[in-house]
Amino acid sequence: MRKLPLVAAVAAAAAAGILVPSGAAEAAPSADTQVTFVVAGQGGDLSITAGPLGAIVPNANGTLATGGLPTASVTDNRNGSPRSWETTASSTDFTGQGVTIPASDVKYEANAIIGKVGGGDVTGQGEKSLGSPATVVTRTGLTWPLEIITWSPALTVDFPTGGLPIGSYSGTVTVSVA
C-alpha cells in the first residue's frame, strides 16, 4: 500500500511543475533565435516619368516662348548604398510654318526639386541649352532604400532674329536617367 501513495505524490508533483526532468536543471550554453528582415529596394530599378504634353507661351516682345512643363520624377529603388544618378534632357528642333528653330535655342531648367530622403545631395544644374543632351539634375550619395525625386521643368525656346510667322511650332523634349 505504500506504493500507491508514492505514485500519487509523484503524479501530483509532476502536475504542479515541481518535478524537473533529469538534465534540465543545467542551463544550455547557447540559444538560437531565428530573425527575419526585409531590405526595401532589393531588386528594384531606376526610372523616370514626365508628362506627355506641354505647352509654352510666346512673350509680348515676340522673342521667345516660355512656360512650365508637366512634373518630372525619378524613382530609385535599386540595391546598394550609396547610389547616384544623373538626369539629362535633350530636344529635337522645333518646326512649324516652314521654319526650324534649332535645339540649341531650346533651354530646360529643373525647378522646385523635392523628395530627398536619405544622405547625399540632389542638385539642379540651372538653365541648360539642349543643343546636345545636357545634365539637368544630379543625385549623389543616396542611402535610403526607395526615393522619388520630383521637379517642375521650365522650358524656353528663343526665336530667331526678326521673330516667327504666326502659327504652331512643335518639338520633343526627352528626359532620361542613368
Predicted pLDDT of residue 145: 83
Within 13 A of 146's CA, how many CA atoms are on the CB side? Answer: 6
Model pLDDT for residues 1-29, shown as the tens digit of each residue:
444 444 444 444 444 555 455 555 567 78
| Residue boundaries of the structural domains of the chain | 46-177
Bigger pLDDT: 176 vs 8: 176
Distance CA 162, CA 178 (A): 39
pTM: 0.76
Dig out the grid coordinates for 103 from the structure: 535645339
Residue count of the chain: 178
Phi/psi at 99 (5° precision) = -115, 140
